[in-house]
Structure 1
Amino acid sequence: MLWVAWGQMRRRPAAFAGLAVAMFLAVATVTLFGSLIAAEVTAPASARQPEAGPGLMVIAGAFGEIAVLVAFFVVVNALGFALRQQHRELALLRTIAATPRQTRRMVRAQVVMTTVLVSVPGGAVGVVAAHRFLAALQRLGLAPGVRVPTTPVPVLAASAVALVVGLAASAVAARRVSRIAPAAALTASATEHGRAGVPRLLLGVAVLVGGGLLLRLAATRPAEESDKAGQASLLASLVLLVAVALLGPLVVRLLVGVLGAPVRRLAPGTGWLADAQLRGYARRLSSAVVPVALLVGLSGTMMIMTRTAGDTTGMTGSGVTSATDVWLRQAELVLLASFAAVSTLNTLVAATAERRREFALLRLVGATRPQLLRMLGAEAVLTTAVGVLLGALVAGAASAAFSTAVTGSPVPSVPVAACWYVVAGAAALTVPAVVVTGLRAVRGPAAELVSGDRD
């Protein structure tokens, strides 16, 4: 199975490119914060106690707990698409007597090989980022006399953690194709189940309740614990986004039914087709919407919390926030937005590229390439609208909890212009990614693409 796994990766490099980038970012992120923790641990005792501001361990922990969760969220999403793009091959292996255990072993081998390939470059980038991050903190007067130690432990630990999470994700992602009968697996590779499973719905509701509890925890923090309220709000936004991912097929089908009406009126032909495609493949749409919601939700939450804390400090004169706090929040915003942007691009490109046979069938029944591209454009607009709406709801809930803790009012200070930039950025990532990938996917003879002679 090892050689089969390697052959699949060589045959479909684009399918594993997104997974490799996600694993690279995960290794780099864990290495970054692991290196900062190692710097704190190995520093002289006199340098461990900062004169003013948070210590290096506190900063690394506050950044790391959110950034690492987001990184692994991106890894799980990327791995799911890598498996979906080779679903047909996995189903064929099942029909020629490959056992479920062998199928899962092949998927695990792909995760291991991907992790090995990205560990060294990811670790190197993480170490460089740790040096630069520490230098920036020292320019702000934090962590004086501390330096990043020369040790491979953070890189090795980051690779091990990324590997464990990747293997856990592979066990979940490969479960469907490995457990069902071979003939059913081959049939399922070309179809999508219309309903989400009851366990998934129940888990989604449980996660949603957990997010609500975190929001309550954030809202009840005293004003002097604004940092704790901010971290709880940010963590709550991530938990709510996980709930959106679990409940996505149900939620997005309802939202597309509402938002798709204007598109159907403005473009009766391609708009109707785009709306029908999105509602018919709600699970695929959910996978595309979640990264957009992740980008908007996390970025919006960070920006609104920063503005709210800054305005509160300006009005009351109390030390709710400082220039150092603002810098740290901006750095965290850049990091989280980078992860979300990578996840958005990976997901949209993979989701569009895997539809080649679908586009070929539409061409065989009379659709032209320009019509298909207009349909994809309408789909991209609807995907952006649904993702922005869900992300805005999450950001609104999280920032309202933070505002309640800091100001006593659930109405936060909203940087309207900056939020519009986030929306524009989400659209600039989504629409070109879908249309450009679709332009490449509709090339080639339709008959060959449908029959599978060409991939």
Structure 2
Amino acid sequence: MAPIGLGQMRRRPAAFAGLAASLFLAVATVTLFGSLVAADATAPDAARDAVEGPGLMLIAGAFGEIAVLVAFFVVVNALGFTLRQQHRELALLRTVAATPRQARRLVRGQVVVTTLLVAVPAWAAGAVAARRFLAALQRRGLAAPDVRVPGTPLPMLIALAVTLAVGLVATAVAARRISRIAPAAALTASSTEHGRTGVPRLLAGVAALVGGGLLLRLAATRPAGEVDDAGQAALLASLVLLAGVALVGPLAARVLAAVLGAPLRAVAPGAGWLADANLRGYARRLASAVVPVALLVGLSGTMMIMTSTAEDASGAAATAVTSDTDVWLRQVELAMLVCFAAVSTVNTLVAVTAERRREFALLRLVGATRAQLMRVLTVEAVLTTAVGVLLGAAVAGAASAAFSAAVTGSPLPTVPAAACAWTVAGAAALTVPGILATGARATRGAAVEAAGGGRE
């Protein structure tokens, strides 16, 4: 199976670009924070004791914990689309007697090879980022001047091991469908979508939403002197809630698309009707597209609203959380999360739109023009953005309300309208051009060839 897997990677490297970008970010990020932990561990005791504030170990641990969780989310998403682009090939292997174990082994081999290919540049990027981040912490008095990032390769090896573990777990999650169904059904399933969300997935989604609610309660009930703990609990709650949204996404996306699609059908009867029917008929595909947008908006909104709420808080809470150093740390954390979310958004939208090449070709064969298809895609892109923004805003609103309750005693946070508007604009700037550019490429070429299953 190894030669087959490597052959697919050589023939279609573009199918693995999104996975490679996600694994690169994971290795670089873990290398970054692992290097900071190593710097603190090798620093003299006097240097650690001389620093006031959270300390290098605590900062690296808190940032690294969130980074690993987000990295797992992004890698699972990217790997899922890599598998979807190989679904027909994997199904054909199943029909010629490949076992489920062999199919999973093939996918695991592809993940391992991709991780090893990106490891060296990711190590270099993580090491450079660690030195720059440490220098910035030293300028702000959060690390002693004589602390240095050690030259040991241990953080890099740990980063590789952690990323491989994340990738292999993601493989078990993403490859489950193709490896469990019957060989004959696998080939048929490669071009169809299940109409219902499975009960185990719904139960897992409900459990995640309940867990997120419990974390929100924990954040809201923190004393005023534990604002940092409240902020971390609220941010973790937003991640858990977003995971729940991803699991129940097809159902939620179908409902929101039905509500938002009505005005679009009225404004654009032709393109709006077809776009609404496409999105509601392929709820899993819609959910795959909107979840990364929700991740981007939810994490960004949560961080920005919590920072704004803390800045406007009064009394002891304000002095604890509104210093320039604390705001800077939150901005760094926000930038890291936005980077992960942006990569996931672009990967997903490109993959979702590119795999519809045959669908577009069939529409062209029955009389649709490229201009008409692009109008439909424009409406779909707007509707996808709106659904993702609403889901992300709901998560950000819940998380920031819990944080506000801990900081101010009121569940009404301070919302920075301009910053939130820029976040929505950024989500739209990633979503709409990404869908349209990929759609323009997917509708090129002869429709007959594409309808027959030809791939670029």
Scaled by the length of structure 1, the TM-score of the pair is 0.98
**2:165 maps to which residue?**
164
CA positional deviation for 1:317:
6.0
Deviations 1:286-310 (A, max 9, x none): 0110000000000000000001111
Cα distance in 1 for residues equivalent to 2:230 and 2:315: 19
The within-5 A match list for 1:253-402 is 253-313=254-314, 318-402=319-403
Cα distance in 2 for residues equivalent to 1:317 and 1:73: 33
Is residue 121 of structure 2 the alignment partner of residue 121 of structure 1? yes
**2:250 maps to which residue?**
249
CA positional deviation for 1:178:
1.3
**1:35 maps to which residue?**
35
CA positional deviation for 1:320:
3.5
**1:62 maps to which residue?**
62
- Provide the aligned C-alpha RMSD in A: 1.1
Unpaired runs of at least 5, structure 1 = none
Cα distance in 2 for residues equivalent to 1:454 and 1:45: 60
**1:10 maps to which residue?**
10
Contact 1:49 1:55 in 2 (8 A): no
Cα distance in 1 for residues equivalent to 2:109 and 2:122: 19
Is residue 137 of structure 2 the alignment partner of residue 137 of structure 1? yes
Cα distance in 2 for residues equivalent to 1:320 and 1:328: 11
Cα distance in 2 for residues equivalent to 1:337 and 1:90: 33
Contact 2:317 2:407 in 1 (8 A): no
Cα distance in 1 for residues equivalent to 2:320 and 2:22: 38
Letter of the 2:82 counterpart: A
Deviations 1:73-124 (A, max 9, x none): 1011000000001100000111111111111110010001001001111111
CA positional deviation for 1:334:
0.8
**2:186 maps to which residue?**
185
CA positional deviation for 1:245:
0.1
Inter-CA distance 392–34: structure 2 relative to 1 (3 Å threshold): same
Cα distance in 2 for residues equivalent to 1:320 and 1:368: 56
Cα distance in 2 for residues equivalent to 1:50 and 1:286: 50
Inter-CA distance 65–94: structure 2 relative to 1 (3 Å threshold): same
**1:101 maps to which residue?**
101
Unpaired runs of at least 5, structure 2 = none
Cα distance in 2 for residues equivalent to 1:374 and 1:18: 26
Cα distance in 1 for residues equivalent to 2:97 and 2:129: 48
Cα distance in 2 for residues equivalent to 1:231 and 1:188: 41
Deviations 1:18-38 (A, max 9, x none): 000000000001101100000
CA positional deviation for 1:314:
7.9
Cα distance in 1 for residues equivalent to 2:367 and 2:50: 70
**Identity of paired residues, percent?**
76
Letter of the 1:175 counterpart: R
CA positional deviation for 1:313:
4.6
Contact 2:5 2:109 in 1 (8 A): yes
Cα distance in 2 for residues equivalent to 1:279 and 1:313: 47
Contact 1:313 1:319 in 2 (8 A): no
The within-5 A match list for 1:421-436 is 421-436=422-437
CA positional deviation for 1:15:
1.2
CA positional deviation for 1:168:
1.0
Moved runs in structure 1, 4+ residues, more than 4 A? 313-317
Inter-CA distance 86–454: structure 2 relative to 1 (3 Å threshold): closer
Contact 1:353 1:437 in 2 (8 A): yes
Inter-CA distance 315–175: structure 2 relative to 1 (3 Å threshold): closer
Cα distance in 2 for residues equivalent to 1:317 and 1:445: 63
Letter of the 1:131 counterpart: R
Deviations 1:345-370 (A, max 9, x none): 01000110011001101111111100
Contact 2:224 2:316 in 1 (8 A): no
**1:48 maps to which residue?**
48
The within-5 A match list for 1:204-243 is 204-243=205-244
Cα distance in 2 for residues equivalent to 1:195 and 1:317: 48
Cα distance in 1 for residues equivalent to 2:181 and 2:223: 52
Cα distance in 2 for residues equivalent to 1:367 and 1:247: 33
Q: What is the aligned residue count?
A: 455
Cα distance in 2 for residues equivalent to 1:366 and 1:317: 63
CA positional deviation for 1:453:
3.9
Inter-CA distance 30–454: structure 2 relative to 1 (3 Å threshold): closer
Letter of the 1:40 counterpart: D
Deviates more, 1:113-122 or 1:47-56: 47-56
Deviations 1:198-250 (A, max 9, x none): 00000100010000000000000011111000000000000000000000000
Deviates more, 1:201-210 or 1:320-329: 320-329
**2:452 maps to which residue?**
451
Cα distance in 1 for residues equivalent to 2:132 and 2:335: 15
Letter of the 1:46 counterpart: A
Letter of the 1:12 counterpart: R
Deviates more, 1:179-188 or 1:426-435: 179-188
Letter of the 1:450 counterpart: A
CA positional deviation for 1:188:
0.3
- Counterpart of 2:313 in 1: which secondary structure? helix
Letter of the 1:410 counterpart: P
Deviations 1:409-452 (A, max 9, x none): 00011100000000000000000000000000001111111112
Contact 1:311 1:413 in 2 (8 A): yes
CA positional deviation for 1:51:
3.1
Cα distance in 1 for residues equivalent to 2:220 and 2:351: 39
